[in-house]
Amino acid sequence: MGDTFSEEFQKQLETQMVDFESFVDTFVAKIPRNEEIAELAEVVKEIYLKRIKSGNAKLLERKK
Amino acid sequence: MIQKDNLLDVLVELPSIPVIIQRLHDLLDKNKDYGVIDVASIIETDPAFTLKVLRLVNSAFYGCPRKIVSVSEAITILGFNTVHHLLLTTSLLDVFKTPHSRLDTMEFWLHSFGVGTMAKKLLHRADSGTQNEGFISGILHDIGRIILARLEPELFLMFYENNESAISIEREVDYFGIDHATLSGKLARKWNFPDSIATAVAKHHSFNEIEEHARLTAAVYIANILCHLLRVGNSGNSYISEFYPKAWQALEISLDELDPIINSALDEISKSQSIIYNLQKS
In this prediction the ipTM stands at: 0.87
How far is Cα B221 from Cα B129, in angstroms, rounded to an integer? 18
B204 touches B141 (CB < 8 A) = yes
CA torsion A19→A23→A29→A31, rounded to 10°?
A: -170
- Give yes or no for B227 touching A (CB within 8 A): no
Q: What is the pLDDT of residue A39?
A: 94
Cβ neighbours of B243 in A, within 8 Å: 31, 33-34, 36-37
Interchain proximity B229–A34, CB inside 8 Å = no
Domain annotation for chain B: domains and CATH numbers: 4-281 (1.10.3210.10)
What are the extents of the domains in chain A? Answer: 2-63
Q: Quote the crossing angle between the two packed helices A35-63 and B258-281, to the nearest 10°.
A: 60
For chain B, give the longest Cα–Cα distance: 57
Q: What is the pLDDT of residues B144-193, one digit of tens each?
A: 888 888 888 888 888 887 766 666 788 888 888 889 999 999 989 888 88
Q: Do A41 and B166 touch (CB under 8 A)?
A: no
DSSP B59: S
Contact A36 B245 (CB under 8 A): yes
Determine contact, residues B146/B103, Cβ cutoff 8 Å.
yes
A28-55 pLDDT, tens digit each: 998 888 889 999 999 999 999 999 988 7
